[in-house]
Structure 1
Amino acid sequence: MTGWMQPSHIIIIAIIFLLLFGAGKLPAAARGLGQSLRILKSEMREMTKDDSADDDSTKDAPRRELPPGEASLDAESSSEKKSA
């Protein structure tokens, strides 16, 4: 055995796809797969960009948090405004 995927395997897979999807639906399925891959690639690019931006910002600036008392006061005041 010379490799995992031989030309005969590719031909068999192509025949199975033709039988499952039919000749008319195959281009639409390929188009949908291409769009899905394009979206996946762009999302992965955005995630890596966000991760690198987060890494850069956390190195330079200290993390700022509200004290516990102020956080609960903000939540109470916003709930009072909604009920009024």
Structure 2
Amino acid sequence: MKRKLCLCLIIFIGLQSDQQTFAQANKRESFSINFGPEVSFPESAFKKTHNAGYGGSFKAEYTFGKHGSATINSGLSIFKGKGIF
């Protein structure tokens, strides 16, 4: 059992280091857009009056140099209130 666990750990570490070696960087003068859904959970006092929320986020990135870029992030979350009764 210990031998299998050690073998799995060695394989996992090897795969992780391999992924980091071949990480891709954005090309110069490139533009990318990302968007996706989100789920939000209220906490503390806000949790007493509102249920879980939903929404989305948007990110745009322009790479203008080898190590420089500008990003714009935006998002919207909607929370529905709990009923009185």
- TM-score interval for Structure 1 and Structure 2 normalised by the shorter chain: 0.3 to 0.5
Normalising by structure 2, report the TM-score: 0.37
More strand by share: 2
Q: Which has the higher contact order (CA 8 A, sep 6+)?
A: 2
TM-score, normalised to structure 1, is 0.37
Q: More helix per residue: 1 or 2?
A: 1
